[in-house]
Structure 1
């Protein structure tokens, strides 16, 4: 059985939210924990993974990781995105795993079965080299996306897929174009891309050697490098099972995520 390791990449200089990894999020009990701590907790809920690592570019983030007992790998500030940072961490620490999972540091609400679905897909389908979860938007999530765009905020990412379940394109715009106000009775099919990736080690090495691609630069989405260089990305459908999901993209997302933590009873 393929061994899986989870690597959580963080960086201090987020363009939209500088210092985001140390942002405090209050849960159901009112206790405030850093984004680092909450994302480590999310990773520890994934029973299918053997090892968990935090990788980051600053001692402040490293200290937050060590404070919750995480193994930390320091990587360069020059890493352009989380995938490059994970690739460098794997090389520097000599992480030995058949599947490397990148659980991005801004996704503390990621349910464990999202990650398990990726690892199980990679184990069952050896021809797949990269996989990522996609979640069909319910009405609340779709309205959150549309509200971000109306207010000029860059929020989460959506994806369109081909008939074999592989990604055709990812965007920070809402795709496909809807052209109407969604309702519960007329809910269009829009897929929320969840910021988690599973890679074969060779695909991760290849990514680090690939030149950044034009659409990657325009959208600011690292996964587009795979598509533009001709590698398929399997978009694995997952279900929320009543679990609310949203990433911490902007400061305005803090009360939204705190509300979800309280709603779900997460301390």
Structure 2
């Protein structure tokens, strides 16, 4: 019996980038890249399974050809967390912890995913998610990117204990006297990586409740937890080498391929 489950939600019907999981980056599909990360993380963590949760037969067939277990979920499910919950309910016994590894984040290191599992095993957080602090050059690039794709990239405001205070598609916090702040090489902005870990009780609560007002405004499902008083802890991680907030537009694919050309391909065996 496995204690934990990594779920990769994968929808075909992305508004901005239809068929996104099957699109290729430097010769390998997004789904291939993400499932490889998930399997490596599960091996590192131990006692952990991997499934793809989808509502599309094309994605299901492709995932099975990759050798990945597939769970078909209802098309009406409106978030990755809801798909993760639906996938968890199909297991022979409910997992204790569920990792929601977004299918459009191909450059998250396997060690980071395994580390999130370890963090949930070692503390009593309801939800855990990784963040990294931006230096000024990364922040400038994020600002420039948002001119073309304003809802790509999520920032986090966090307490000194690592507890998340808020997440936003806007760049938070607002900064007075930025010129003086730039004397410090690290900006005060934390960026969120599209990866969540839940205790099963928190995920079951999420699936049973309606979307909350700020969640709907921002399009960020983690705000449902914050608006309702659950504790979301953030795990500080190093800035990823291939720094992309997610693949949401054709420009993001071009940017990802450029990063691979400059920095190398993190896919094993590439």
Does 1:136 find its partner at 2:100? no
Q: Distance in 2 between matches of 1:248 and 1:265?
A: 16
Structure 2 unaligned segments of length 5 or more: list them.
Answer: none
Q: Deviations over 1:246-266 (max 9, x none)?
A: 121222100111222331333
Structure 1 unaligned segments of length 5 or more: list them.
Answer: 27-31
Partner of 2:107: 109
Partner of 1:228: 227
Q: Distance in 1 between matches of 2:35 and 2:247?
A: 15
Residues 138 and 188 of structure 1: CA distance in aligned 2, closer, same or farther (over 3 Å)? closer
Q: Distance in 2 between matches of 1:95 and 1:23?
A: 34
Q: Distance in 2 between matches of 1:152 and 1:103?
A: 22
Between 185-194 and 45-54, report the one with greater CA deviation.
Answer: 185-194
Aligned mate of 2:172, from 171, 175, 179: 175
Task: Decide which structure has greater helix share.
Answer: 2
**Is this contact kept in 2: 1:110–1:245, CA < 8 A?**
no
Q: Distance in 2 between matches of 1:184 and 1:35?
A: 38
Q: Distance in 2 between matches of 1:59 and 1:69?
A: 15
The 3-state SS of whatever aligns with 2:257 is: helix
Partner of 2:89: 91
Residues 120 and 52 of structure 1: CA distance in aligned 2, closer, same or farther (over 3 Å)? same
**Is this contact kept in 1: 2:100–2:196, CA < 8 A?**
yes
Q: Deviations over 1:18-67 (max 9, x none)?
A: 221111110xxxxx111111111111221115211111110111122112
**Is this contact kept in 2: 1:111–1:243, CA < 8 A?**
no
The normalised TM-score by structure 2 is: 0.89
Residues 138 and 42 of structure 1: CA distance in aligned 2, closer, same or farther (over 3 Å)? farther
Q: Distance in 2 between matches of 1:77 and 1:141?
A: 36
The 3-state SS of whatever aligns with 1:128 is: coil
